[in-house]
Each structure stands twice: as C-alpha cells, then as structure tokens.
C-alpha cells in the first residue's frame, strides 16, 4: 500500500472521502512529461474520426494520421517471410501444413526449441533469449565488416525506446547542480524529453543547423556540453557523415561523456552519396584511445526500416566499453520488467538473420524488402519536391528515415491569434489544418526549433496514391491560411 503523509485536508475534516492520488499528490515528474507525437492534436484527430463515423458532416471524408511512423497503419504490407515464421511459432500445429516453405518451418522450429516449454507464451531470461542475442551479434559483425560483437553485451528490449529509457535510468544521478544533464538534438524525438522529464534529469539542447540540411556541429555541442550525450534520431533525421561521427566521438571522449546512438533507421537511407555508418564501427576503426575506452550504447528496432513491425515491440541495445559492475546493474534493472515480449524477440531474430540466397524464401523476401525501400525513397523525393514548390514552405531533402520537417512562414496576425488562444503558433496552424482538411501532423514546437521559426513534422508513409494529394492539399491550406491572416 502507498502511504500518503500530511495533515488532514478540509474535505476530510468535513467528513468527505478525499482521493488519495490527486494532481497535487501524484509524482510531479509525470505531470511534466509531454509526448508530442501522441499529444493533444492526435486526441482531437481521434475525436474527429469518431464524429465521421457518427455521420457528422466535415469538409473531408477521412482523417489521415501522418503524425507517427507507423508503416502498417498507413497501409504498408508485412514482409511475408517474417509473418510466416511468426505464424508457425504462434501456432506450431501449422508446421505440418503444406502452405509454408521449408525454410520458414526450420526457422520456426529453431526458435521454438529455445523457448521455455517450446512456446512463445513462456517468459525468457530478462536480457532476451541467448540464441537470438547470438544472432544479433552475428548481424552486427556482418554489418560492421567483421568487427566482433559479444552476445553478452547485447540486451533485447521492448522496442528501442524501452532500452533507451533503461540506459538513461543508469545515467541519471545527483541532485541540484550535480544532477545529470543529457544533451539532445533539437529538433528532437520527443521520447527523449519525455523520458528525461519522468526521470527528473536535466535536458540540455543542442541545435542542428537547418541551413546545412540539419547538420550536427561540434562547436554547437561544445556550447551545450554537460554530463551526457544522446546524438541519435533528431526529428528530421538526416544521415550523419563518417567525419561527423568521428568528431562527435572525439568530443565525447574529451568531455568524458557517455554516448547513446539511436540507429533504428539504419536501413532507411535514400539520398544519393549517403550511407549508414554505425557509431560502433567508426569508434572501433578510430583505434586507441577511443576504441578501448569510449562508452557507447547503440539501439536498433524492428519498428522502422523496411519491416515496419511497430506492434511487436522488438528491439535491442548493444553496450560497448560499459563498466562490468554497471552492466550487472543493467541486468538487474531489466529483470524487474521480467522480459521483453517473446513474439517480438522471435521477430527480431528474423530481421537480423533473414533468408540466405540458397533458401526458398530468399527471392520473395528480397523483392518485398527492396520494393518497400524504393517506394520510401520515391516518397521522400516527392515530399521535398511538392513542399518546395509551395510559397512559404521550405523542406530540406529527406535523406533517410520516414519523416519530413518542413519550415512554414506564418503571418504576424496568425501568430498574434495563436497567442490570444494560448497556443504555440505552429500548434494553431496544425489544429486548423486538422479541422479543415483531416490531415494530422505534429507542430514543430513539440520537437523543439530555433526561436521565431515554425515547422511541422509529418511522416512520408501514406501510400503514393494518397501522398501527393495530401501534400498538395496541405500546401493549398497553407496558402489559404496565409491569405486569411495577411
């Protein structure tokens, strides 16, 4: 039972039963948590969907939720091989069915053999099934050109976000002026600010350079330096160059910072001449003193990439150069949560060890994977093109991931009206956009932005036949909004 200290309240003295848990007595850190991606604008979108179902007349026929990177909710088809193996694992009776290829059956049997009671319904050890961690280690070694990966340094998780919060819990300590600070990129992914608010850590912002396609500048990091660094997944998600990563590693080493690298979009690189470089590979190839001393945690997920399997909540973290005693504390922390979802662990195993060229499922798997990535690349280009043709909207190239973060000009009268309503100007714009067009995007103020600039974030995931009309409709709304408040 949770005990609440304090004197009797007026309500108690009057004989009324007062709630034990109220806004005044609850954890104040939780009240400070905000998560823009699923914030008030999304709640309004849900209400509008309900109103449409009830036959309420609107100036649109559907709500398009372009607020979150949920590929399958936007119509992306699951990769056949992943779902075949999962179906066999969930229902082993299907192993005798002729409707599944032999390699899918072998993979399902291999996974079930290492599950408690040969069932996905059993708990696993807290850090994840050992065989799957070994497969993740082999995947990392292949990805990084043979650089060794130790399964004992790999922890499976409930999506990458759960692993990020776990590592942040280990990092946050101290009180007052000694409280841990965490550097996060602005624009940021709101998971970070939400987690830091919940943990009562100090958020230290560093700004990405919009004029240089959201480049990360070490001089800006030096301006913001405190005790910790989280350089991954800014909202617009541009592809970092190897030189930039080396500079960040040298900076972290000099300032004695712990590096967190959010690498969930390592499959999503579209820009010509760009490629993914893992922080671990760059760190290792930099050699002494960095390779053997710089502490790093890197994260990956099955929610993004070409997989888009958000609902299975599958991810992992690999720790590098972590103190052995702290790593034991990490194991303890994860054991409190029992284990990550076992179906998610099974899915992750298929992501890190897909069909080999000699397997019956290889050709279909490769074709489906390449089709998804090619379509995402085309959507990225289209988004940049359409927005940049619209007066008052400017969109940097979408080099990777699955979002754009366009900058919009808002007339002074619109800014004034927003202030009268107690809203951020871009929130006012996005709410009006939702009410008049049914398009749900997230205001840039939820991610952070330079003072006096206004943005919104939208996913590029809608199917191509819906994306172009959506982009044109949004551009048209901005023109109408600008005329209205000019």
Which is nearest to 387 in space by CA: 467, 463, 453, 446?
A: 467
pLDDT for 229? 46
Spacing of C-alpha 402 from chain mean position: 10
Spacing of C-alpha 252 from chain mean position: 23
- Give the domain CATH number at 428: 3.90.1150.10
58-67, 189-198, 275-284, 429-438: least confidently modelled range:
189-198
Q: Is 325's pLDDT higher than 80? A: yes
Which is nearest to 164 in space by CA: 255, 257, 264, 251?
A: 264
> Would 101 be classed as within a structural domain?
no
- What is the percentage of the chain residues whose pLDDT exceeds 90? 29
> Would 117 be classed as within a structural domain?
no
**pTM for this predicted structure:** 0.80
Please check whether residues 205 and 317 belong to one and the same domain: yes
Please check whether residues 286 and 208 belong to one and the same domain: yes
CB burial class (10 A; 0-12, 13-18, 19+) of residue 224? middle
Last residue of a domain, one of 302, 318, 352: 352
DSSP letter at 269 equals B
Question: Which whole number is the average pLDDT over 309-322?
Answer: 91
- What pLDDT, in 10s, does the model give residues 259-312? 888 888 778 776 677 778 889 999 999 999 999 999 999 999 988 888 888 888
Q: Is 5's pLDDT higher than 70? A: no
Last residue of a domain, one of 352, 382, 411: 352
- What pLDDT, in 10s, does the model give residues 88-127? 999 999 999 999 999 999 999 999 999 999 999 998 988 8
Q: Which residues make Cβ contacts (< 8 Å) with residue 312, sequence separation at least 6?
A: 302, 341, 343, 344, 347
Q: Is 7's pLDDT higher than 60? A: no
1 pLDDT tier (thresholds 50, 70, 90): low
> Would 316 be classed as within a structural domain?
yes
User: For residue 443, what are its two tokens?
Assistant: 């205001």
> Would 16 be classed as within a structural domain?
no
- Give the domain CATH number at 224: 3.40.640.10
Q: What is the span of the domain harbouring residue 421?
A: 31-75+364-484
Rounded (5°) CA angle 53-469-61: 15
pLDDT for 6? 53
Please check whether residues 283 and 203 belong to one and the same domain: yes
Query: What's the mean pLDDT when you consider all of the chain?
Result: 83
User: For residue 295, what are its two tokens?
Assistant: 């502490």
Please check whether residues 167 and 316 belong to one and the same domain: yes
356 pLDDT tier (thresholds 50, 70, 90): very high
Q: Is 90 left (phi over 0), alpha (psi -120 to 50) or beta?
A: alpha
> Would 427 be classed as within a structural domain?
yes
> Would 98 be classed as within a structural domain?
no
Question: Which whole number is the average pLDDT over 463-483?
Answer: 89
Please check whether residues 345 and 369 belong to one and the same domain: no
Please check whether residues 43 and 147 belong to one and the same domain: no
Answer whether 404's CB lies under 8 Å from 236's CB: yes
pLDDT for 86? 96
pLDDT for 228? 45
204-213, 293-302, 344-353, 419-428: least confidently modelled range:
204-213
Please check whether residues 147 and 229 belong to one and the same domain: yes
- What pLDDT, in 10s, does the model give residues 42-74? 888 888 888 888 888 888 888 888 887 787 777
Find residue 206's DSSP bridge partners.
Answer: 185
415 pLDDT tier (thresholds 50, 70, 90): confident
Q: Is 224's pLDDT higher than 60? A: yes
């Amino acid at each position: 039972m949770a005990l609440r200290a304090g004197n009797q309240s007026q309500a108690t003295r009057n004989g009324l039963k007062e709630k034990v848990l109220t806004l005044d007595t609850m954890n104040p850190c939780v009240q400070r948590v905000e998560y823009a991606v699923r914030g008030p604008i999304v709640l309004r979108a849900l209400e509008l969907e309900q109103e449409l179902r009830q036959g309420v007349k609107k100036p649109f026929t559907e709500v398009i939720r372009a607020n979150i990177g949920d590929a399958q909710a936007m119509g992306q088809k699951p990769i056949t091989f992943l779902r075949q193996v999962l179906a066999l694992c969930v229902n082993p009776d299907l192993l005798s069915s002729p409707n599944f290829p032999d390699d899918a059956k072998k993979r399902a049997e291999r996974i079930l053999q290492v599950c408690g009671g040969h069932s996905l319904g059993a708990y696993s050890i807290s850090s994840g099934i050992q065989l799957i961690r070994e497969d993740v280690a082999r995947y990392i070694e292949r990805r990084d050109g043979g650089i060794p990966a130790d399964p004992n340094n790999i922890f499976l998780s409930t999506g990458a976000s759960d692993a990020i919060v776990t590592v942040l819990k280990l990092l946050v300590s101290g009180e007052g002026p000694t409280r841990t600070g965490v550097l996060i990129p602005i624009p940021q992914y709101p998971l970070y600010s939400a987690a830091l608010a919940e943990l009562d850590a100090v958020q230290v912002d560093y700004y990405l350079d919009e004029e240089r396609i959201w480049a990360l500048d070490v001089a800006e990091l030096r301006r913001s330096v405190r005790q910790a660094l989280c350089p991954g997944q800014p909202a617009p998600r541009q592809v970092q160059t190897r030189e930039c990563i080396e500079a960040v590693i040298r900076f972290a080493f000099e300032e004695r910072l712990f590096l967190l690298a959010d690498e969930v979009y390592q499959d999503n690189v579209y820009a010509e001449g760009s490629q993914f470089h893992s922080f671990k590979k760059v760190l290792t190839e930099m050699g002494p003193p960095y390779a053997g001393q710089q502490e790093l945690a890197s994260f990956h997920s099955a929610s993004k990439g070409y997989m888009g399997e958000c609902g299975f909540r599958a991810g992992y973290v690999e720790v590098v150069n972590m103190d052995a005693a702290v790593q034991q504390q990490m194991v303890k922390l994860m054991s409190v949560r029992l284990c990550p979802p076992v179906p998610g662990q099974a899915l992750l195993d298929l992501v890190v060890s897909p069909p080999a060229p000699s397997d019956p499922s290889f050709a279909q798997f490769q074709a489906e994977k390449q089709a998804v990535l090619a379509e995402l690349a085309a959507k990225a280009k289209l988004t940049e093109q359409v927005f940049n043709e619209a007066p008052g909207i400017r969109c940097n190239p979408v080099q990777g991931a699955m979002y754009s973060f366009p900058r919009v000009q808002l007339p002074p009268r619109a800014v004034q009206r927003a202030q009268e309503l107690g809203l951020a100007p871009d929130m006012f714009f996005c709410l009006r956009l939702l009410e008049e067009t049914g398009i749900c995007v997230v205001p840039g103020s939820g991610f952070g932005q330079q003072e006096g600039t206004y943005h919104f974030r939208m996913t590029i995931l809608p199917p191509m036949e819906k994306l172009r009309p959506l982009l044109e409709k949004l551009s048209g709304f901005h023109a109408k909004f600008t005329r209205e408040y000019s």
